[in-house]
Amino acid sequence: MLNIGVLVSGGGTNLQSIIDGTKFGDIKGDVKVVISNKEDAYALERAKHNNIESVYETDEDTVIQILKNHNVNLVVLAGYLKIISPKFVESFRDKIINIHPSLIPSFCGEGYYGEKVHQAVIDYGVKVTGATVHFVDEKADNGPIIMQNTVDVSHDDDAKSVAKKVLEVEHKILNESIKLFCENKLSIQGRRVFINE
């Protein structure tokens, strides 16, 4: 069983999906701590309801130490609206994954988060969007891609309806990626991530 630390900034629906995955045995891991950079993030309440330590913390060095104190093997950025530093990346090299609500390399990088991503999708007029789970490196939304899934964008969609569609695939691919990591089935070769049977 691997120890998982989850970093959040908002409501925590992805967090809930991860917790459910660990509870029902799909994910061979245990969420040890949930940390938010927003004091009023509902995700912290979700953690408390599931008897998981929840921490409001904005200082990155302290966040790193908390994760190390819990012997965390995998850090999941699940709607964490803060760019982490190279020091953070180096502390957990190839052990940090992020979920992003678009098909990277489209609509990603600094400034692209939350509903801003989905509005950009609508404004650009793309016909397909989706979600991406990737390993985290020193650049925003840049690390090797683990998994992606798509949704269609209809002519009558708006940012909110696209967000709802994308969230469904986010839950699916994030949990699947965590499951594979916990089973030691992911390997990185350059920019490519391979799933080992």
Per run of 10 residues, the mean pLDDT along the chain (length 197 residues) is 96 96 92 97 97 97 98 97 94 97 95 92 97 96 97 97 96 97 97 94
- The yes or no reply on domain 2-195 and CATH 3.90.1170.50 is no
Residue type, 141: D
pLDDT for position 84: 94
In the chain, domain spans: 2-195
31 φ, ψ to 5°?
Answer: -75, 110
pLDDT for position 188: 97
Please measure the distance between the N-terminal and C-terminal CA atoms of the chain and give it in whole angstroms: 18
From 70, 100, 118, 134, active-site residue: 100
- Residue corresponding to tokens 């793309």: 126
- How far does Cα 43 stand from its chain's mean position? 13
The rounded distance, in Å, linking the Cα atoms of 71 and 3 is 7
Q: Which of 9, 11, 54 is nearest to 31 (CA)?
A: 54
Measure the CA dihedral 15/21/23/25, to 10°.
Answer: -160
- Residue 101: HSE in the Cβ half-sphere, 13 Å Cα cutoff: 27
The DSSP output letter for 168 is H
SS3 91: helix
Q: Which of 131, 141, 137 is nearest to 163 (CA)?
A: 131
Residue 100 annotated to the active site? yes
The rounded distance, in Å, linking the Cα atoms of 107 and 109 is 7
Residue type, 75: V
Q: Which of 178, 152, 160 is nearest to 114 (CA)?
A: 160
The DSSP output letter for 10 is S
The pTM for the full model equals 0.95
The rounded distance, in Å, linking the Cα atoms of 114 and 136 is 18
